[in-house]
Chain A
């Protein structure tokens, strides 16, 4: 029983500090509630008090929200696929595969995302034509794939080694054991950190506005550039980002709680 208990208490701490609410914090005026409902109240209040420019802004930017989501969701899907293989590569016993995965992680983590974006769009753009949206998604996926790889790696290593041994002892091959025994357990463990990455990616997706992809931030810029209402526009943009990230961090913490409750 000891081994099973140990498995439950393993926590993966790979995170770059998304706002995950403290679950102990149940009070009515938790930091999360103040921020979330505060932001929503302001988003409602501003347009009511002064419809110009706030209502106009709120009419202008939602297209961008959609694009932000598109970039985020498509990137996270590719990042998950890249991350899974990178994680498997990082724990591989085959030296060359292990080395490739490790170098990939090291290189990508050492280059700022913004530089990667420029690199794929402008630098590689000299040789091949990359559409803006494509460049954005490729850069984000490659970048986050490296971080996801580390999460998968941590998740795989967190499974007690007796699990692999029991599977091998039954006659399973290493890859069968990975698929049937290790990865299913890894998955429930990495779900919360993956949620965190999703939130981080949602925020980082604002970088793609540099490539003139019309995401939320870009739409704000377009509005502000024509009306010179910088303060009002960026206030709304910031509030919308805040509501989105707080909403998703709540989802992640609920999911975490659920997983822990029926964790066996």
Chain B
């Protein structure tokens, strides 16, 4: 594990900073800090890179993702998005969150707002942009996720796949530099998974930096630059999808892959 950490910490070519840098992230939960959700995790994600995180339930995948926009506060360690330190308690976390989009397993669309209003809320409230300016962009985003005709539909009137696509558009409306996806297709009926993955694939091809928790192997092989396998709060191994999936180095990875395939 130590070997892995050092090589994920290896400086990126040239002297460009990684887009996301996670160093020695540790997160303890519980009254007596008895739950070690993250144990000394380090990971660099380059601009434009798509990193897929896999691992058994409870291995700390969500906690790692949620630490990147400080929905969880690390116990120790640090996280940077470009030159901004997320883990700096005095820093302006809201400015960083504007640049980090997040998509949740349960969509979390705002049920009292229509699709277009969901997308416009961020830019109008946070960036104080004028509605007239945001509206055409919001429409374009809806079209991009294939829902141009659902502008005025409320989340309750949309299928799961449609809701998740609106949620992606909502995150994109803030023009983020990084997108976090926490099991975006796990709550979907099988026939809706593809429509969401297609949108994500399109984003990946467009050069978006993405951290994706998902066990969709097809997506991983098509879009991921790197696969990270986590277990018990640690990164066990990582590498290109073909290497991790086809010739895993670690026994635990092998076991896990056998289990999910």
Q: Measuring CB to CB, which residues of chain A are less than 8 angstroms from any residue of chain B? A: 1-4, 7-8, 160, 162-163, 165-173, 176, 180-181, 184-185, 188, 263-264
Contact = CB atoms under 8 A, between A and B. Distances in A.
Nearest to A163: B108
B102 interface: yes
Contact of B111 (A169, A171, A172, A185): A185
20 contacts: A4-B109, A4-B155, A8-B156, A162-B104, A166-B110, A168-B97, A169-B102, A170-B125, A170-B171, A171-B95, A171-B98, A172-B122, A172-B125, A173-B94, A180-B125, A181-B110, A181-B121, A185-B111, A188-B112, A264-B112
B187 A1 contact: yes
B211 to A, nearest CB: 13
A3 B69 CA distance: 22
Nearest to A162: B108
B106 interface: yes
Nearest to B71: A165
Nearest to B189: A1
Contacts of A168: 71, 97
B87 interface: no
A168 to B, nearest CB: 7
Contacts of B159: 1
Contacts of A180: 121, 125
Contacts of A188: 112
Nearest to B127: A171
Given A7-B111, A169-B102, 9 more contacts: A1-B107, A4-B155, A166-B104, A169-B69, A170-B98, A172-B121, A180-B121, A185-B110, A264-B112
B107 A163 contact: no
Interface of A is mostly: helix
Contact of A162 (B106, B112, B154, B171): B106
Nearest to B170: A170
A8 B111 CA distance: 10
A4 B157 CA distance: 11
Contacts of B101: 169
B71 A4 contact: no
A165 B69 CA distance: 10
A162 B104 CA distance: 8
A214 B171 CA distance: 59
B106 to A, nearest CB: 4
A2 B156 contact: no
B104 A184 contact: no
Interface in B96-129: 97-98, 100-102, 104, 106-112, 121-122, 125-126
Contacts of B167: 166
Given A1-B160, A171-B122, A166 B155 contact: no
A173 B98 CA distance: 11
Contacts of A165: 71, 104, 108
A2 B164 CA distance: 12
Interface in B153-182: 154-157, 159-160, 163, 167, 170-171, 174
A4 B111 contact: yes
B108 A166 contact: yes
Contacts of B156: 4, 8, 263-264
A263 B112 CA distance: 9
Contacts of B69: 169
